[in-house]
Amino acid sequence: MSLRQYFTTHTWWGKLIGACLGYLVAGSTGALFGIIIGNFFDRGLSEHFSRPHWSYHAESRKNVQRVFFEATFSVMGHIAKIDGRITEQEIQMAKTLMHEMGLSSEQRKQARGFFNAGKDSNFNLQQMLGLLKKSSHDNPELLKLFIDIQYRAAQVDGLSENKLALMNILLDYFGFAPLQRQYRFYEDFLRGSSTHHQRTHQQSSSQQQSNHTPYYALAHAYAILEISPSASKQDVKSAYRRLMSRNHPDKLIAQGLPEGMIKIANEKTQTIRKAYEEICTSKGW
């Protein structure tokens, strides 16, 4: 029995819970009020799951999950093949992702099939990206998470010029800035641009260095929160709360992220939280 069927046929849970809580608070009178409130809850839940649009949205979400799953592994295969030869590290990266998602043997078989399709010379990248963009309704957080996964796969054995160019094709298609400006994950570029700044601090004591976030890491933290280093305390806090809300795993899954990718979604929120903490520490907040 599905969740929808359960709540449309069992319309007594709210009344039961309401009666119990009401009795504990105010005795028999409270139990009566609890039953009344619970009845409204049961009716509302039943009506929600009985609405025609519920099944439409449920099916729409499944479609997004299917497309996201296929796009993830097929584009990963395409990126791995772009240099002409797929390395053992790239194959292991795909296997690691399958493990993190907790895929069944059948799902692993599908993922391998999509990966192999992506590395085929006839693979239509534009069509796959178009399907993902359309099914996700241009949801920026889902698309950013997709980009993060592809970047992780692309740089596993070195970000070659071909892979850099392909990553920029993905970013441009979804309306994002080029990789060289995506400091939130392009850390190697950021480190290189900050070498001179770090040299000016070489005379700092080891104790001072241990108490301060390195320049490139702090710039990276601001980029993750998508704010300027000159942002006020309130702006930083607002950006943090906004991104944590948008990237909450439950919300992303409700929007179509495959449930197996909840670990990746959790890692994203941890990255946002760490960036916020680094900025607060550097500012003494």
**DSSP codes joined into one string, 85-111:** S--HHHHHHHHHHHHHTT--HHHHHHH
Report how far residue 147's alpha carbon sits from residue 73's, in angstroms, rounded to the nearest whole number: 12
Q: What is the pLDDT of residues 147-178, one digit of tens each?
A: 988 988 888 888 889 999 999 999 999 988 88
- Whether residue 157 contacts residue 85, with contact meaning beta carbons closer than 8 Å, is answered with no
Question: Rounded distance, CA 166 to CA 153, Å?
Answer: 12
Query: Does residue 271 surpass a pLDDT of 60?
Result: yes
Question: What's the mean pLDDT when you consider all of the chain?
Answer: 76
Q: Are 123 and 160 in contact (CB under 8 A)?
A: no
pLDDT for the residue numbered 56: 39
- Nearest CA to 48 among 18, 6, 10, 7? 7
The one-character DSSP state at 179 is: G
Kindly tell me if the per-residue pLDDT of 207 is higher than 50.
Answer: no
* Amino acid 208: pLDDT: 40
| Average pLDDT of the residues in 196-205 | 39
- At residue 58, the pLDDT reads 52
Q: Using an 8 Å Cβ cutoff, are 151 and 163 in contact? A: no
Q: How far apart are the first and last CA of the chain?
A: 51
258/61 Cα distance (integer angstroms): 9
Is the pLDDT reported for residue 51 higher than 60? Answer: no
Q: Which of 147, 157, 218, 149 is nearest to 177 (CA)?
A: 147
Higher per-residue confidence, 224 vs 197: 224
Placement of tokens 């409204």 in the chain: 40
For the chain, strand residue ranges (E) read none
Q: Does 283 score more than 90 pLDDT?
A: no
User: What's the pLDDT score for residue 178?
Assistant: 84
Q: pLDDT for 85-140, tens place per residue?
A: 899 999 998 998 888 888 889 989 999 999 999 999 999 999 999 999 988 876 78
Q: Residue 57 has which token pair? A: 């949205």
Burial of 159 (0-12, 13-18, 19+ CB in 10 A): middle
pLDDT given for residue 210 in this prediction: 38
pLDDT, position 195: 39
Assess whether pLDDT exceeds 60 at residue 214.
Answer: no
| Alpha carbon distance 39, 89 (integer Å) | 57
Mean pLDDT of 201-205: 39
Q: Please answer whether residues 116 and 77 qualify as being in contact, where contact means their C-beta atoms are separated by less than 8 angstroms.
A: yes
Q: What angle do CA 227, 231, 235 make, to 5 degrees?
A: 80
Answer with the residue of higher pLDDT: 253 or 279.
Answer: 279
Query: The pTM is what?
Result: 0.59
* Per-domain residue ranges of the chain: 3-50, 57-177, 189-283
Amino acid residing at 23: Y
Q: Which of 128, 137, 134, 20 is nearest to 74 (CA)?
A: 128
What region, left, alpha or beta, does residue 257 occupy, with left being phi > 0 and alpha being psi -120 to 50 degrees? beta
For residue 209 the two structure tokens come to 């260095």
140, 151, 149, 145: which is closest to 174 by C-alpha? 140
Looking at domain 189-283, its CATH class is mainly alpha
